[in-house]
Amino acid sequence: MSEFEQYRSLFVAESRENHENLVNFLLELEKGTDQNAIDEIFRSIHTLKGSSASMGFADMERLCHTMEDVFQLIRNGSAVMTKDLSNTLLSCTDLIEEMLDDIEAGGDSSSKNPDKLVGELKSWLGQHGAAGPEKPKAPAAQKIPDAPEECGQSPEIPTSDAGPEYCMTIVVAPDCMMKDVRALIAIQNLEALGTIHTMQPSKEAIDEGKFDGTVNLTMASEAGEEALKTAALGTEIASVDIRQTEAPAAPQATEAAAVKKPQEAEKKQPPASADKNREIKNLRVDITQLDHIMNLVEDLVINRGRLKQIAEEHKIKEMDEAISMVERSVSELQSLMMTIRMIPLSHIFNRLPRVVRDVAQYDHKEVEFIMEGGETELDRSVMDGLNDPLLHLIRNAVNHGIEAPEVREKAGKARKGTVRLSAHRDRDNVIIELTDDGAGINIEKVKKKAVEKGMIAADAAATLSTEQAIDLLFQPGFSTADKITDISGRGVGLDVVKRSIESLKGTIKVDTVPGKGSTFELLLPPTMAIVDVMIVRICNRRLAIPISSIVEVANFKKDGMHRIGKGDVTMLRDEVLQILWLNEMVGSSDRCEILIVVQYQKRKCCIPVDAVEGKQEVVVKPLSNFIGTTKGISGVTILGDGDVVPVLDINTMQE
């Protein structure tokens, strides 16, 4: 990978963070004037402008520069945020996101023309009497003077107690493609070791690309010449010239003070040496590398089981001891790897306020969106499949759930509806709840639509329970919308949600109260790669059942089995349980003496098995595309003896 491509990936990653920050604070600003939000927006826009200019993405730089001009006026109080301006700025953020997508794909963002939006912003600037903002004057106490021609001899340079003062000249290599970026990295390294007093050109000028390759600066530091030179040097830095300047003696300085000063410096040395040894604490790692490491860890888990089985068969004491050490190391490595892959739900949650805002504005509704539990973590593999389901549910909550302000008032409710998204951990699972205080689900309307679409007969619809009627919402092509809009009515939505959640080995449950609102509850496993299972045997064939689905293990007495309709049931602890025979999967057995009681949502059933071999931690591999999706099977695992065992999917077995 070329150095420019490395810079490109770093630019995209950092710009996406600034873009997300920009959108979130723009939404905060719609609620009312917030100086902190204004400052954060200005900082994000300024950073996006500077980095895009450094990388040569002129169209993005031009758009961000105009946005910065707008916010300079808002920042200094010359203008206020309006609804129309907010819509325009959010449209600008949409275009910036498209530009970042284009850059990430290898483009230069030139295919995304910002002229229309830039024109709208400049028109707004013209109406407020500014072609561009005037830069506010910095307070005198904070002003940093330009570097004098003779470095280190300016009478304006304050006397510093932060250590000796140095004059430095940093020259970036002439063939460096991004001189400004390289210079800013060197300056950042130096700032960590001391206080920069003067710099020519200024940091802002370098950030804006006004840089010929040479930086002159003066700084105070206790780190020493070698440490400062090492911090400034790096790839594509041609030279670093450094020399200590002589600080002018104070008029009242005495010999006693001169003796005391080295002692004070000596006392300050420990924290300075700590700064010299400062280490890089965080690294950006490509997700494909983490996936590759995870695959290797999964192979280790499989072979750990194989080695353990060999050791048990041959009864070799020394091998047992070695296997125990390997097993502990693999377990720690596996746990560490799973932790590294865990990502806070806030990565998804933070994108949703914009969705709520746009849908509410489109429907002319007033909605307050509350998010809780964004710090709850999920594995990246689960997180990747969660974005679309949450998007569908959020849009449905605002579009179908929350009523128009006038309707809410007539019903005795507040004009502004509330949509609450929360997440928390429950034992080994993560539960995400989306609640609205809207009209709830109209069960009769659902039945009527199902009859109109030919999904169910009228007489059968009349006998449906509330739970069965709600299940109709998850059928493909079903929608209760009376007309097709950009938001709803196209029959694509909750069926996609259900399929997506079940593909993540999760479940979805709906509770609704007419006139009060609805709650959608998603129950998700924290990870899908490595799970605890119970190995069972039927007709000498092994099956794996996820421990998370098992309620209990009980004895099976065939004389307690009864026939109801087309299925068999049995009584267990005064509860009628449906029996799931796996004859089609593994064949019929007459020796089934054990019942594995499993649960999906609130429905229990039981699976008769011949024997239980025990609990085991396994790696679940998905079925190949050649085999396709098989009902009741979530994947396969390889045991220590090399046996390939199907892993049951309780979610789909009961459908």
Buried b (16+ CB within 10 A) or exposed e, 311-350: beeeeeeeeeeebeeebeebeeebeebbeebeebbbbbbb
Task: Domain 3-127: give its CATH architecture.
Answer: Up-down Bundle (1.20)
pLDDT value of residue 509: 87
Amino acid 401 reads G
The predicted pLDDT at position 601 comes to 65
Our answer to whether residue 19 is catalytic in this structure is no
Q: How far is CA 467 from the centre of its chain?
A: 33
Active-site annotation holds for 46: yes
Of residues 18, 21, 24, 396, which has the active-site annotation?
A: 396
C-alpha 271/C-alpha 292 separation (Å) is: 40
Superfamily for the 530-653 domain: CheA-289, Domain 4 (2.40.50.180)
Choose, from 20, 40, 61, 68, the residue flagged as catalytic.
68
pLDDT for the residue 31? 82
End-to-end CA distance of the chain: 49
User: Taken in order 433, 437, 443, 448, is the CA torsion positive or negative?
Assistant: negative
- For every residue of 287-300, DSSP letters joined together read HHHHHHHHHHHHHH
Q: Collapse the DSSP code of 241 into the 3-class scheme (helix H, G, I; strand E, B; otherwise coil) and give the result.
A: strand
- CATH match for 159-245 among 3.40.50.720, 3.30.70.1110, 3.40.50.300, 2.60.40.10: 3.30.70.1110
- Sheet arrangement for strand 550-555: 550-555, 594-600, 603-609, 575-579, 567-572, 561-564
CB 544 within 8 A of CB 609: no
Domain range list for the chain? 3-127, 159-245, 288-343, 345-524, 530-653
Residue of 76, 92, 75 lying closest to 84 (CA atoms) = 92
Q: Write down the catalytic residue from 21, 24, 40, 46.
A: 46
The confidence score (pLDDT) of residue 236 equals: 75
| CB environment 360-381: b (16+ within 10 A), e (fewer) | bbebebebebebebeebbbbbe
| Successive 10-residue mean pLDDT values, the chain, 655 residues | 66 85 88 84 85 83 89 84 89 91 84 88 81 41 40 42 82 79 81 85 81 89 82 80 68 42 43 46 72 83 80 79 83 82 85 88 90 87 83 89 91 92 83 92 86 83 83 76 49 73 83 90 76 89 89 86 86 87 83 87 84 85 64 80 83 66
What's domain 345-524's superfamily in CATH?
Histidine kinase-like ATPase, C-terminal domain (3.30.565.10)
CATH of domain 288-343: 1.10.287
* Backbone φ, ψ for residue 107 (5° rounding): -85, -170
Active-site annotation holds for 76 = no
Q: Are 527 and 535 in contact (CB under 8 A)?
A: no
